[in-house]
Structure 1
């Protein structure tokens, strides 16, 4: 199946949700599978409703919290996984932040969202996973074709984001790929080590120091 362009569906971003829509959104966010089932079968709920200042859909909210069963149910019931929020993030970005590997696998299996799609600030899903310290998700994405050499609007690459997150195992994995220059600089001329030090991630600083010698 060819990838499709993700869309905000502007006409629905600011539509006023019904009470049932609100209930669906929060049940999805909280992972209440039985409540989601009930709402989908007994109310006139909009499975692609939007809630909050970022206009997340229920399936985005479920993915963000790693509620795999809810994500699968919503997709089965017609959730549009090509949608993006007001910042441009799609369901894959949210699944990567949520960190549930099986949810990410499921989203990838739909073949709808580009694995290197750009969200807010031109950030890719693998950048979001690295920042969140989701080492297993980063590895999965790389095996599936994620490009860790890409940079966002600030000049941050996946290594920079991993160092900001401070998860040593994630940083080690990104370094092991031998794709990103350990001394690569952002638009403000910061290296990964400078960023890790600035956020107090001393173990990451030590790792980078060892790797650069």
Structure 2
């Protein structure tokens, strides 16, 4: 972990990617390395770079959360897929956009939680004001549609009680 921080402070490119398009933050979110994710997201302090005998190039930390790997997945999607709740919470604290979509089917993390039937995660997302409960996939499905289609009754009940809509309802109300 200390080596990661030293590399960041020395000017290492936090957006460099491997053969699968994963940045270091992607790997930390995928594999559950909370402390490494925290170090990658923490801005470099002046006191940390004073010992550098050279100037480091400016880089944006935290990095752009919208960077997707070659499978179309962002760091947020990887954290949710691998059930790393501590990293998910860290990303939410850093104001990650919960409505980011993965690039293959256009799913948000709420869509993914509905497909899996993860009641705890759905409730967590519902408490984040910016989470779009009626977001649509590329095929036009809302989280409520997916909960129904994947027979996730617990999630379906929670979303319906919160006022989420089916895609047909959203289309009808949009045309008014």
Band of TM-score, shorter chain = 0.5 to 0.7
**Structure 2 residue 94 is the aligned partner of structure 1 residue 110:** yes
Contact 1:159 1:171 in 2 (8 A): yes
Which residue does the alignment assign to 1:126?
110
RMSD: 3.2
Q: Corresponding residue for 1:143?
A: 127
Which blocks of at least 5 consecutive residues in structure 2 are unaligned? 45-60, 170-176
How far apart are residue 144 of structure 1 and its match?
A: 0.6
In the aligned structure 2, how far is the partner of 1:92 from the partner of 1:127? 13
In structure 1, list runs of 5 or more residues that go unmatched: 1-35, 186-213
The alignment of Structure 1 onto Structure 2 pairs a total of residues equal to 147
1:101 aligned residue (72, 85, 91): 85
Q: Show the 5 A alignment for 1:132-171.
A: 132-145=116-129, 146-162=131-147, 168-171=153-156
Give 1 or 2: higher helix fraction: 1
Instruction: Specify the SS of the correspondent of 1:122.
Output: coil
Q: Scaled by the length of structure 2, what TM-score is found?
A: 0.64
Q: 1:16-27 counterparts in 2 under 5 A?
A: none
TM-score, normalising length: structure 1: 0.55
Distance 2:113 2:27 in 1: 16
CA, structure 1 residues 51+184, in 2 after alignment: closer, same or farther (shift >3 Å)? same
Q: CA deviation at 1:130?
A: 2.5
Does residue 71 (structure 1) correspond to residue 56 (structure 2)? The answer is no
Cα offset for 1:116? 1.5
